Amino acid sequence: MEGVIFDLEGKGVRELNEYLHGDAAALNGQRVSVTSPNGAHNIAVGVDANVQITVEGHAGYYAGGMNKHASIVIEGSAGTGVGENMMSGKVHVRGFASNGAGASAHGGLLVIDGDAGLRCGISLKGGDIVVGGSVGSFSAFMAQAGRMVICGDAGDALGDSLYEAVLYVKGNVKSLGADAQFEPMTDADISAVRELLEAAGLDHDAAQFRRIASARTLYHWNADADQEY
């Protein structure tokens, strides 16, 4: 099927998103190229169709937010909240991502080839995130479910108030947040990391990653803890 081209210098983001919110059956299998994005916000948000979208440049805030079924490739960097609240599908950032990447994602796969800013994967609820570079402080804060693979380093308070999400880090961790702890890697963990790296198109030795999960001391309020965890 011949691709559809939206040049954002001639057509606005509203027109693009109206098209992408059309009949899912008609959009199924289509290829949509977004040219001259120039950092525009809200590109390809709320897409509920099996469509392939390529953003040929940098995207602004919330690109690919609330994605469902679509495969979105950003051939540049992305601003705050890329892939936030994603339900399924895939969002792939070829460059870097700003703060809050993958926030509250319930499903799907977010891939960031470069580094991610602060709070990557905050309140993650079931999606998978693979970061080829490093992540900023407070990443995976209150992450409830899902997995995050970090091929570089992590800043302060990684996994603070972590619930059932599992993190895998290859590089250095500046500090762990409250209730996060390192745990032994099992064969199942190595297989999971290997599969996620393959899905992301990244080449690393899965056995070199470390597992971080919740110590579960925050699951119930303890008045005697005096805020010390």
Cα distance between residue 129 and residue 126, in whole Å = 10
Which residue, among 28, 45, 128, has the nearest Cα to 81 in the 3D structure?
45
The string of pLDDT tens digits covering residues 186-229 is: 999 999 999 999 999 999 999 999 999 999 988 776 667 665 65
Kindly report the average pLDDT of the chain as a whole number.
95
Per-residue confidence (pLDDT) for residue 1, from 0 to 100: 47
User: Which pLDDT tens digit goes with each residue over 21-72?
Assistant: 999 999 999 999 999 999 999 999 999 999 999 999 999 999 999 999 999 9
Question: Hey, where are the domains in the chain?
Answer: 4-225
Pick the CATH number of 4-225 from 2.160.20.60, 3.30.70.1230, 3.30.465.10, 2.40.50.140: 2.160.20.60
Q: Could you tell me which of 138, 78, 67, 73 has the C-alpha nearest to residue 107?
A: 67
Judged on CB neighbours under 10 Å (0-12, 13-18, 19+), 97 is buried
